[in-house]
Every structure is written in C-alpha cells, then in structure tokens.
Structure 1
Amino acid sequence: MRRALTRTAAALAILLGLGDAGLQAFAEKARQQPPELSATELEKIVAAVPKQAAKPESARRVLIFWRCEGFFHGSGIAGGNKAFALMGEKTGAFSVDCSDDYAVFEPANLARYDAVMLNNTTHLKFPRPELRQALLDYVRSGKGLIGIHAATDNFYDWPEGAKMIGGLFDGHPWGGGGTWAFRLDAPDHILNRAFGGKGFKLRDEIYQFKDPYTRDDRRVLLTLDLADPATGKVTGGVKRADKDFAVAWIKTEDKGRVFYCALGHAANVFMDPAVMQFCLDGIQYALGDLQADARRR
C-alpha cells in the first residue's frame, strides 16, 4: 500500500511539473494514517485502561512515535495511541504527544520528554544519522524507551539500535488470527502483578526474535507457553531450536530503562485490562517511577 501511494505521489508530481521537493511533499501527504476507532472499540479501550498508577516523581511526558516504512499496523497503532493517551489522562501518570515525523528526534525536542514509545514502528529510516544517534544518546543518558509489538521490526542496519530495543523480528509463526497461551517467566516480579501469578491467553500475532536477542542482559517477563496444545503445535516458520520465544522484557541501556512488549498487533489487545495494567507498569518502569529488577533471573 505504501509503495502504491508513493507511486501515485510521484505520478502527480510529474503531471504537475514538480521537482524533487514536490515529490517529497506529495509522499509526505500520502503516508498512511491510523484508522478511526469505532465507538464500540473506543468504549472497550476506555473500560480496560487502569484508573490508578504509581505516583510519578514529577510531571512526565511520553513521546509516542508510530512511523512505518514497512508493514502498517493500522489497528494496533490506532488502538495503542488512544489507549496510552487515555491511560495517562486517567491515572495522571504521564501526558503524551503522538507523531510520525522524524523531526521529533531533534535533541532539543527529545529533551522535552521522559520516555519515547515506538508503537508498531516498522523499518524506520532516519533521514539523518544524527537523529538516530540522538535517540540512542537520549536513552543512554537516563531516559526511557518503550517498544510495542513491531518496535523490533526496525534497526536491521543499526546494531546499536537493535541492541537497545533488545532483538530483531524474525517472523511471526503465531499469526494474528490465533489465540495463544503465555506464561509468566517471573510470576512474582512487580511488572507481572497484573496477571495475578497466572498465565493467560490472548488473540494476537506473536513474533520470534533473532540476534541480538539474548536473556543475558535483561529480565524476560512473558514467554509463549508451548505446553498449551494450540500454541505448542505451531511449527511452520519456527526457527529457534532453543524454543525461547520471549514476549516481553525489561533491560537497561547504560543509564536508561527499556520496556518491550510484543503484544499489540491490533486494537483488541488494548481492550484487555490485565495487558493494559502490565503496559502501565512497564511504562512507569521506563519513566523511572516504578522500581523493578531488570537483571537476568
């Protein structure tokens, strides 16, 4: 779809006699936008969002970035952007700004925020290397990074970025139309308190990860439960011989804090109260308002 839109923009620019600047302007306007949520979807998201949060040390701001140069998770972007904005409003834990403009990574702008969230971003192509370096420096300085679902479908040519988020997408054998089982790697960990010590099932698309994914530098929180018959019988596209299919983790990046959750392919995920509480706790960890052990167990 994105390629078709870009070709349309190019054709229009040629017809109108515009040069490269005109083509770029048309391409910018042709970028896909998240769909509008239905009234029913919005009602379910509102009902799922937690009402209370850990008290923030100060007024917190989160920048939600949702640019896509690859697959466009329209439903997941729309659901996540709305859910996290409502979460901040209802709990008072943070406020949010949403953007898909790379200009937000200018250092002076990043300095306005306590954490950056990559909500279903794919194949990000920073127009200038200084902008991606600014993000890395920002996190390493002690700020937070939050990754939702496709946030690991980026940085294939940027090893430092891949290490920062914690791994790279390597397919999704567990498709978005299925309901899969998840177990808690650390049932007593504070960031898993939303699940009451028990595993759960959810309809979502689940990734597997390749290097630099490792358990050595993080605390894995959720993993696919292969003991579940429907989840365990999936073999097509499975590449990891070690059967290590992590779903969520926290880690540090120098002085910064990283929370990644592979859940969130579509809006239905943001209608689950336990998942929303889990995400709130992860966000507050990244912000520095909820202390949690990120060391390997």
Structure 2
Amino acid sequence: METRRRTSLYCLSLLVAMAAATSVWAQHTPPTLSEKEMRQIGDALPAKATVAPAAPRKVLLFWRCEGFFHGDGIAAGNKAVEMMGEKTGAFTVVTSDDMSMFDPDKLNAFDAVIFNNTTNLAFENPVHRQALLDFARNGKGIVGTHSSVDNFYKWPEGAAMMGALFAGHPWGEAPVKLDDPEHPLLKAFGGKGFWVQDEMYQMRDPYSREKLRVLLSFDMSKLPADAPTREDKDNAIAWVQQVGKGRVFYCSLGHNRNIFWDPAILQFYLDGIQYALGDLPADATPSAALNPQPQPALPPAKSK
C-alpha cells in the first residue's frame, strides 16, 4: 500500500512539473501592441534604407527566452524590425523562437541573425553552436538588442561573439555620450549626446575596449559620484566588432516599448543592421587601438 502511495505521489509530482514547464513556455507570447503604438512605430521609422542593399537580404529575427521574458521589448522590437524591413526594403524578416532555425541548412539561408531580447540561451546542441559561429566567422551578421547579452553564460565563444555578458541593470535613466561622433553608424544622433530612459545595463567580461569599437556609453560625469558603476566606470551601451569575416552590432537600448518609436534610435538600429548585413561600411577597429582617440560628444546637463 505504501509503495503504491509513493508511486502515485511521484506520478503526481511529475505531472505538476510537466504542467509548470508547459505553463512557463505558454507565457512566452509577446503582448499585443495597440493601434496607437503601431502608428508610433511606423511614423518613427526611417523612410528608406541608409544604403541600397548590394543584394536581397534576409534576416532571422529570433526572440526565444529561456530566462526572464522581456515581453514589451520583444513585442515592440519585433514589430519595429518587421516594419523597418517592409518600409525601407533593406531586408526581409523571418521571425521565430524555434531553436531548429539554427540547424545549418536553415541558418545558412539568412544574411544576419537579430537576437531581440533573448535571455539565458544555452545553445546546448553543439551543432547549433558551431553553425552560429561558422555563420558569423564566414561573413554573415549578428545583431543584438538589450538582453541579448544575457545569454551564453556557459559558452565562452558565444559570449565573445556578442561582446559582453550582462552584469545587472542599476539605472533607469542614462546620460549617453557618442564615443566617436564621426563614426558612420552614429549619424542618427547628429553629433549630440542625449539622455534616455530605459533599463540600462552594466556589462562584465568578456567586455573590453581592446576587442570592441564602442559607439555609445554612459557619461559618468553627469551622474552622482556614488552612482553604481563598474570599477573602471566604463559602461558601454552600443558597439561593433568583427568576428572572422563577419560583423556584430549590439545596442542595450530596447527594454521599454517607447525605445522603438524613437526616430533617432530606430535610425541607429537600421544603420547597425545594414552594417551587420555588410551593406553599410563602418570601421570596427577596437576603441583601445585608436590613435588619436576621438573626442566624444557629451550629453547636455539634465534639465530640472
């Protein structure tokens, strides 16, 4: 009788665990944007591609979350990228959260992968790991928004490809400086730093200016002296890097929906995507190797 009872309890606990797992994945459905939000995105999008694509471009817009689910950023980010491709003609989009998209025969049909607010991706299948590394190293593009650095904790090559790992978000507003105002990917901001409200990330290794061309970062002089920060006070927001023959563009802006109806930020994302696709030339020399160092464009003092 006791054995039967234990068996029943085990079966019940197994069913509960399976149901819990199913419910977690069932929650991973992006919220629906309102008609007003859709209009705001459409109105803010660039009217045309920054440069004409050299060939028809196809991107995989990937939003799978195996950790925290950034529903707002996924919903608005996915829609912004989809509408951007349609409006500008710079690329076409396939949107998915299915890991089988990284099967080599499927992945190689794309010119770039955009990781939109993905979290805790492990890429446990070694075939998928190698396929993604080969994809980048052989000349394709990788784009990351916001929490795409919150992945690959047990896969050093994947973290190095993205450029950094997430180390917290101690700020909700940031004074943003243009580290290299003359860089072609920063034209969207007109040579001026700015303030932004979003969930602002702090990075940890493998982040390094020895490897990355940092485009945007915090102007720490505009924050209180006791503001949380890295020991070196180097808090990057966006960067590019070359990985083999391929190109990587990352920007941490994209937690809040309103980021994706900011005209300058959408232009910045378009330029970054076109860079990753190989259509918009831009220098990816690591920041530490630049001589002379560029003079950054600082944001204004915060208005009271």
Normalising by structure 1, we get a TM-score of: 0.88
Gaps spanning 5+ residues in structure 2: where? 1-10, 291-304
Deviations 1:107-143 (A, max 9, x none): 0001110000100000013241211221111111100
User: Which residue is equivalent to 1:6?
Assistant: none
User: Which residue is equivalent to 1:285?
Assistant: 275
Q: Please report how far the alpha carbon of residue 25 of structure 1 lies from its aligned counterpart in structure 2 after TM superposition.
A: 9.4
Distance in 2 between residues matched to 1:85 and 1:202, nearest whole Å: 24
Distance 1:156 1:94, change over 3 A: same
Q: Please report how far the alpha carbon of residue 24 of structure 1 lies from its aligned counterpart in structure 2 after TM superposition.
A: 11
User: Which residue is equivalent to 2:248?
Assistant: 258
Report how many aligned residue pairs link the two structures: 276
Distance in 2 between residues matched to 1:34 and 1:287, nearest whole Å: 26
Residues 104-183 of structure 1: pairs in structure 2 closer than 5 A: 104-175=101-172, 179-183=173-177
Instruction: Say if 2:207 is the partner of 1:213.
Output: yes
Distance in 1 between residues matched to 2:25 and 2:252, nearest whole Å: 29
User: Which residue is equivalent to 1:14?
Assistant: 15
Distance in 2 between residues matched to 1:265 and 1:11, nearest whole Å: 38
SS at match of 2:64: coil
Match of 1:184 among 168, 172, 178: 178
Distance in 2 between residues matched to 1:125 and 1:99, nearest whole Å: 17
User: Which residue is equivalent to 1:93?
Assistant: 90
Q: Please report how far the alpha carbon of residue 12 of structure 1 lies from its aligned counterpart in structure 2 after TM superposition.
A: 10
Distance in 2 between residues matched to 1:219 and 1:290, nearest whole Å: 16
**Percent sequence identity over matched residues?**
54
Distance in 2 between residues matched to 1:149 and 1:95, nearest whole Å: 22
Contact 1:172–1:205 (8 Å) recurs in 2: yes
Amino acid at match of 1:79: A
Q: Please report how far the alpha carbon of residue 62 of structure 1 lies from its aligned counterpart in structure 2 after TM superposition.
A: 0.6
Amino acid at match of 2:250: Y
Q: Please report how far the alpha carbon of residue 235 of structure 1 lies from its aligned counterpart in structure 2 after TM superposition.
A: 2.4
Distance in 1 between residues matched to 2:68 and 2:284, nearest whole Å: 30
Q: Please report how far the alpha carbon of residue 218 of structure 1 lies from its aligned counterpart in structure 2 after TM superposition.
A: 2.0
Contact 1:182–1:225 (8 Å) recurs in 2: yes
Q: Please report how far the alpha carbon of residue 220 of structure 1 lies from its aligned counterpart in structure 2 after TM superposition.
A: 0.6
Instruction: Say if 2:227 is the partner of 1:235.
Output: yes
Contact 2:68–2:119 (8 Å) recurs in 1: yes
SS at match of 1:227: helix
Q: Please report how far the alpha carbon of residue 43 of structure 1 lies from its aligned counterpart in structure 2 after TM superposition.
A: 1.2
Distance in 2 between residues matched to 1:83 and 1:30, nearest whole Å: 23
Distance in 2 between residues matched to 1:155 and 1:182, nearest whole Å: 27
Contact 1:182–1:223 (8 Å) recurs in 2: yes
Match of 1:40 among 5, 17, 36: 36
Contact 1:13–1:26 (8 Å) recurs in 2: no
Report the RMSD for the aligned CA atoms in angstroms: 2.1
Contact 2:216–2:237 (8 Å) recurs in 1: yes
Normalising by structure 2, we get a TM-score of: 0.86
Instruction: Say if 2:265 is the partner of 1:247.
Output: no
Contact 2:122–2:154 (8 Å) recurs in 1: no
Q: Please report how far the alpha carbon of residue 31 of structure 1 lies from its aligned counterpart in structure 2 after TM superposition.
A: 4.7
Distance in 2 between residues matched to 1:96 and 1:168, nearest whole Å: 26
Q: Larger Cα Rg: Structure 1 or Structure 2?
A: 2
Amino acid at match of 2:26: A
User: Which residue is equivalent to 1:63?
Assistant: 60
